[in-house]
């Protein structure tokens, strides 16, 4: 199921909330308003207001007489609006992603200017994907990706086989970039124990 992301920084607009409700109905016509509220992170009363509004606009049909028997269906106009909102939403996310990538590339370029040529990424998750994309805009080269999560080790991540962090002492590189925002200090201390002063250790927050 597609879900709009939960953000601590971007205030949801009315358009965003309408998209959330339309998506919830698109994914399950049997959904209750209580569950719709939980999925969309809205109050039950707000969901009820949006459902009434969308119904009055001819974007959804509501069948059934009680909360237990009611089902919700997108009309043809509702499906068209959902697609239009999804495209607009995706465009904004791509623009935000592009801005973050450009800013990271600028900061990573600074590492190259300081003499760093090759890096290992610590953390095989979404943030690392953004860092990898940003590094392609710089002369830096990624030699490996490591992660302490056993379930990720040995699996392919963006073209790299994820290795155990303990292998850092055997990997040729000039620096380790910690791409995880969680437990950065703990990871930093661990990397220092493994590689000593042989490699630079850089947190994203240091860039």
Which pTM value belongs to this model? 0.76
pLDDT in tens, 68-99: 788 999 999 999 999 999 999 999 989 989 99
Relative to beta strand 141-146, strand 200-203 is: unpaired
Residue 192: per-residue pLDDT: 92
Residue 1: per-residue pLDDT: 45
- Those residues of the chain that have pLDDT short of 50 are 1
| Closest among 190, 131, 121, 183 to 152, alpha carbons compared | 121
């Amino acid at each position: 199921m597609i879900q709009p992301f939960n953000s601590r920084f971007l205030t949801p607009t009315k358009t965003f909330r309408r998209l959330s409700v339309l998506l919830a109905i698109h994914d399950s016509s049997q959904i209750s308003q209580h569950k719709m509220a939980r999925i969309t992170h809205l109050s039950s009363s707000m969901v009820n207001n949006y459902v009434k509004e969308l119904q009055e606009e001819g974007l959804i049909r509501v069948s059934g007489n009680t909360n237990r028997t009611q089902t919700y269906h997108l009309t043809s106009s509702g499906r068209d609006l959902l697609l239009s909102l999804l495209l607009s939403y995706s465009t904004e996310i791509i623009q935000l992603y592009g801005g973050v990538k450009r800013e990271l590339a600028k900061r990573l370029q600074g590492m190259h200017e300081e003499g760093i040529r090759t890096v290992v990424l610590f953390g095989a998750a979404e943030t690392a994907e953004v860092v990898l994309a940003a590094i392609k805009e710089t002369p830096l080269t990624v030699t490996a990706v490591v992660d302490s999560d056993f379930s990720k080790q040995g699996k392919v991540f963006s073209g790299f086989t994820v290795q155990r962090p303990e292998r850092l002492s055997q990997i040729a590189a000039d620096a380790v970039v910690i791409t995880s925002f969680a437990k950065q200090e703990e990871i930093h201390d661990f990397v220092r124990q493994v590689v000593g002063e042989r490699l630079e250790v850089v947190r994203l927050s240091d860039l």
